[in-house]
Every structure is written in C-alpha cells, then in structure tokens.
Amino acid sequence: MADLPPDIAALSFEDALAELDAIVRKLETGSTKLDDAIGAYARGAALKAHCETKLKEAQAKVDKIVLGGDGAIGLEPAGIE
C-alpha cells in the first residue's frame, strides 16, 4: 500500500468501497468532463487496489477450526482463494 495516496491508505475497507461505488456511479452517468473522469478513474483504481489489499489481509486472518482424529481442536489456514 506504499504506492497509495495517504488519504486512501488511511481509509477502512468500507469507506474505500463506498467512495469507489460513488465514483463508478458518477462515471456511469457520462456527465463528467474528460479531465475529471480521468482523475476519478485514477482514484478509483487506487481505491480498488486498497480494497483488494484489505480483503487479502482479512483473508490471511481467517482460520478454520479443525477436529483432529484424536478429538483435539486446532486451527488451520482457511486457504480461501
């Protein structure tokens, strides 16, 4: 996330996703000036990258509980891809 602007890097996943959604909706209307659309697209790309990083971080924290043959309970990486 070092390449991201500090204001984006500081956003929570939910806030970044909400801003990205607003940018997409604005761009879909087609009423944005070209220079503004290009800037919005660039910010949207950075927000998307931030959201993907946040999701990967959350995925790495997810463990699944496994029951061993002897009845012991343990944790194993979920392996969600």
Identify the helix (H) or strand (E) that includes residue 72. Answer: none
23 lies in a domain? Answer: yes
Question: Structurally, how many domains does the chain consist of?
Answer: 1
17 lies in a domain? Answer: yes
1 lies in a domain? Answer: no
Reported as a single tens digit per residue, the pLDDT across 38-62 is: 999 999 999 999 999 999 888 777 7
Reported as a single tens digit per residue, the pLDDT across 1-30 is: 458 999 999 999 999 999 999 999 999 999
Q: How far apart are CA 8 and CA 38, in angstroms?
A: 17
CA angle 52, 64, 9 (to 5 degrees): 20
Domain range holding 33?
A: 6-77
